[in-house]
């Protein structure tokens, strides 16, 4: 969950401040960021950081709309990933 760490840095927040906003310990945040957080946890983090949930996975610069599809750039291989919701 490196994107959450990036958002914290962009907003000038620490993991402790995020933990305080969520009413949990900093260790809980560390474990969440290192693990596989639930959708509910991701929603709470997005709300606390005042960002849409998709920004926890990709920065606005990585998302390039193409017609009715959403395109992300894979951070590992650099290839485009097209997402279309019907």
- The predicted structure's pLDDT at residue 29: 95
All domains of the chain in start order, with CATH? 3-81 (1.10.260.40)
- The predicted structure's pLDDT at residue 41: 94
- The predicted structure's pLDDT at residue 83: 80
The answer to whether residues 41 and 33 touch, using CB atoms and an 8 Å cutoff, is no
The answer to whether residues 3 and 57 touch, using CB atoms and an 8 Å cutoff, is yes
Per-residue pLDDT 10s for the chain (86 aa) are 789 999 999 999 999 999 999 999 999 999 999 988 999 999 999 999 999 999 998 887 777 655 566 788 888 888 888 887 76
Residues 6+ apart with CB under 8 A from 82: 66, 69, 70, 71
Structure tokens at 23: 């009413």
- The predicted structure's pLDDT at residue 45: 96
85 by Cβ neighbours in 10 Å (0-12 / 13-18 / 19+) ranks as exposed
């Amino acid at each position: 969950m490196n994107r959450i760490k990036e958002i914290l840095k962009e907003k000038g927040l620490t993991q402790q401040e995020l933990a305080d906003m969520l009413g949990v310990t900093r260790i809980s945040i560390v474990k969440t960021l290192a693990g596989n957080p639930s959708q509910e946890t991701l929603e709470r983090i997005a709300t606390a950081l005042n960002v849409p949930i998709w920004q926890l996975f990709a920065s606005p610069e990585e998302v390039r709309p193409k017609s009715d599809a959403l395109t992300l750039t894979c951070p590992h291989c650099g290839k485009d990933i097209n997402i279309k919701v019907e």
